[in-house]
Amino acid sequence: MLRPTPHSTVAVAIVLAMALCPPATSGPLKGKVKKSIYYSPAENFSLPVPKGDGSDWAGFVGVHTHEGYATDGAMGVVSFADEFGKVLGIGFLLAHEQALPALADTTQTFVLIEEWIRQFALPNFFSSASTGSRVVRVDEIRFAGAPAALALVNIPGGSTIAVVTDGKQRTLDSRRGLLVFVRDGYVYMLYNETLPRGEALADSVNALTLNLDTLVRAQLEPFYDTIRFSAGGKPTR
């Protein structure tokens, strides 16, 4: 893991000054689906909605869509879940123009991404669902030719699946795998569910022993390949 240098500490401060500002209140912004393609209201990406019959790359059985966007479109998230606890999602934050030079400095990118995961993504995307959420691992990788990160986040009671025991409903635990990278002035976070259905975090394998290339990257790269990114209304991939 890279350790912040005096220069990177300044860069981290720039990004955190932007990222830790209270996000705009979630409002009526919603994506559009046309011919089974989901379009972000911020016009920064589009992707195919899983079919839900198990026949496509996602292998979903049933599809539930969840989304939330800031009123200014500068941050948002959309995820798809199936009947058996599979989850695929994409979250994003538009970087402040002051942060762009630091993010473009490849000697600093991973440090900034790790801080973004811990200081912004955790409280804004995960802790809101479960206050016990915590980042348990962040690994540095290269992805799409640039520095990026794979991470794991434990979310007690954060699964999309609930069970009923002795007449009481309980939501199962979740461990989300993250693939975080910078593209077109945005910080993007793809994520999936990595905890076997019905397994409790307390009984799960130590996160430090898991192979994130298999558990996270190999699962999210096919998802990434379906996404069409845009900048200024023009496709970039």
Spacing of C-alpha 180 from chain mean position: 7
What does the pLDDT read at residue 79?
96
Cα angle for residues 104, 117, 28 (degrees, 5° grid): 95
Listed in sequence order, the residues at least 6 apart from 29 whose beta carbon sits closer than 8 Å to its beta carbon are: 41, 42, 69, 70, 71, 73, 76
pLDDT at 11: 46
Q: How confident is the chain (237 residues) per 10-residue block, as mean pLDDT?
A: 42 45 57 95 95 92 93 92 95 91 92 95 92 97 97 96 90 97 96 94 92 97 97 75
pLDDT at 129: 84
Is residue 69 a contact partner of residue 29, using CB atoms and an 8 Å limit?
Answer: yes
pLDDT at 57: 85
Query: Which pLDDT value is given to residue 13?
Result: 47
Report, in angstroms and rounded to the nearest whole number, the Rg of the chain calculated over CA atoms: 18
pLDDT of residue 237: 73
**pLDDT given for residue 88 in this prediction:** 97
Domains of the chain: 24-235 (3.40.1000.10)
Residue 106: count of CB within 10 angstroms of its CB: 11
Q: Look at residue 27 in the predicted model and tell me its pLDDT.
A: 56
Q: Quick one: pLDDT at residue 3?
A: 40
**pTM strictly above 0.85:** yes
